[in-house]
Structure 1
Amino acid sequence: MQLPTPSDPRLAAVCALVHDHPEDPRTLAALGAATGVGERTLSRLFRAELGMTFPQWRTQSRLYHALRMLADDAPVTTVARRCGWSSPSAFIDVFRRSFGYTPGTHNRRP
């Protein structure tokens, strides 16, 4: 699991908001408004500093939180809700595409 961290303070502020509150559905524009940075500037910073788009980084951050919660035996439905997915099935799909197995089997893997 790779979650790059930014050095630019503007980008770091947005990343901190997203990482501290993975359930927050705000768009990049709304997060930019909350931190005083334009959406286009943030979009460029995500690509330049982190090598990925904002949605890609947010998904990685949410998956990071999901792995930690699953390791603590949290139910898949709870993990999906607390990590910001619209439904458990959406979470399961993203998790399976990312890791090659479903979150329900996470703790049973060797």
Structure 2
Amino acid sequence: MTPPLRRTRCVWCTSAIAAFLLALGHPPAMALQDPTRPPDFRTAPADVATQQTFSLASIMIGKHRRTAVINGEPRREGQRFDGVRLQRIYPDRVEILDQGRMRVIRLEALPQVRGTQ
């Protein structure tokens, strides 16, 4: 082979490889990393709403009425408040319907008081 022919073949191979790589498309774009973010940081999904916290202080059950004190306010079965519905009151817990999901709230533990000896 003469040197001009070798150069032509090299240029042709290089352009064929470049055309093949362009035909494959661009590689997927990589997201830039925030250098100030902690290494184990994960963002919460945007579509998940944060759950409200409720505090169940006491439950009163009578013949004709059931009442639960939730977040310091007396509530009855079937009552709606803060975007939730109080479904059922039991002696030790209540069930509320929160964003289509049933949640159970239990009575808070009472502080233990020691007797004197």
Q: TM-score, normalised to structure 2's length?
A: 0.24
Q: More helix per residue: 1 or 2? A: 1
Q: More strand per residue: 1 or 2? A: 2
Higher relative contact order (CA 8 A, sep 6+): 1
- Which of the two has higher C-alpha Rg? 2
Q: TM-score, normalised to structure 1's length?
A: 0.25
